[in-house]
Amino acid sequence: MNTPVAPPTGANSLRTGPNERGRFGEFGGRFVAETLMPLILEVERAYNAAKADPGFDADLKHHLTHYVGRPSPLWFAERLTKHLGGAKVYFKRDELNHTGSHKANNCMGQILLARRMGKTRIIAETGAGQHGVATATMCALFGLPCTVYMGATDVERQAPNVFRMKLLGAEVKAVTSGPATLKDAMNEAMRDWVANVTDTYYLIGTVAGPHPYPMMVRDFQSVIGEEAKVQMQEAEGRLPDAAVACIGGGSNAMGLFHPFLDDTSVRLIGVEAGGHGIETKEHAASLTGGRPGVLHGNRTYLLQDDDGQILEGHSISAGLDYPGIGPEHSWLHDIGRVEYVSATDQEALAAFQLCTRTEGIIPALEPAHALAYVTKLAPTMDKDQIILMNLCGRGDKDIFAVAEHLGVKL
Of 14, 32, 284, 378, the residue at the interface with another protein (CB under 8 A) is 32
386-390 and 88-92 beta bridge pairing: parallel
304 binds another protein (CB under 8 A): yes
CB of 389 to another protein, least distance (A): 33
Q: Applying CB under 8 A, which part among 185-193, 213-221, 340-348, 377-385 lies near another protein?
A: 185-193
Alpha-carbon span 67 to 371, nearest angstrom: 28
357 binds another protein (CB under 8 A): no
CB of 31 to another protein, least distance (A): 5
Of 31, 56, 67, 142, the residue at the interface with another protein (CB under 8 A) is 31
Q: Which residue's CB is nearer to another protein, number 184 or number 345?
A: 184
CB of 385 to another protein, least distance (A): 42
Pick from 290, 351, 348, 300: which is nearest to 328 by CA?
Answer: 300
266 binds another protein (CB under 8 A): no
386 binds another protein (CB under 8 A): no
Pick from 37, 16, 42, 88: which is nearest to 379 by CA?
Answer: 88
Alpha-carbon span 320 to 366, nearest angstrom: 7
Of 55, 307, 407, 410, the residue at the interface with another protein (CB under 8 A) is 307
Q: Applying CB under 8 A, which part among 48-56, 232-240, 272-280, 287-295 lies near another protein?
A: 287-295
Of 36, 107, 370, 386, the residue at the interface with another protein (CB under 8 A) is 36
Q: Which residue's CB is nearer to another protein, number 283 or number 296?
A: 296
Q: Count the residues of the shown chain that bind another protein, applying the rule CB under 8 A.
A: 36
End-to-end CA distance of the chain: 44
71: cis peptide before it, omega within 30°?
Answer: yes
CB of 12 to another protein, least distance (A): 28
CB of 309 to another protein, least distance (A): 5
Where does 58-193 show beta strands of DSSP type E? 74-76, 88-92, 121-126, 146-151, 171-175
Q: Which residue's CB is nearer to another protein, number 77 or number 185?
A: 185
Q: Which residue's CB is nearer to another protein, number 32 or number 365?
A: 32
234 φ/ψ sector (left φ>0, alpha ψ -120 to 50, else beta) = alpha
Q: Which residues contact 51 (CB under 8 A, 6 or more apart)?
A: 57, 219
151 binds another protein (CB under 8 A): no
List C-alpha distances in Å: 38 to 18, 34, 190, 196, 294. Answer: 19, 7, 14, 13, 20
CB of 185 to another protein, least distance (A): 11
List C-alpha distances in Å: 112 to 119, 166, 381. Answer: 10, 22, 43
Pick from 328, 317, 311: which is nearest to 216 by CA?
Answer: 328
DSSP letter string, 102-115: THHHHHHHHHHHHH
- The 3-state DSSP composition of the chain as helix, strand, coil percent (nearest 5) reads 45, 20, 35
20 binds another protein (CB under 8 A): no
CB of 207 to another protein, least distance (A): 19
Q: Applying CB under 8 A, which part among 98-106, 114-122, 123-131, 304-312 lies near another protein?
A: 304-312
350 binds another protein (CB under 8 A): no
| Positions in the binding site for another protein (CB under 8 A) | 21, 29-39, 177-178, 183-184, 187, 190-191, 194-197, 292-297, 302, 304, 306-310
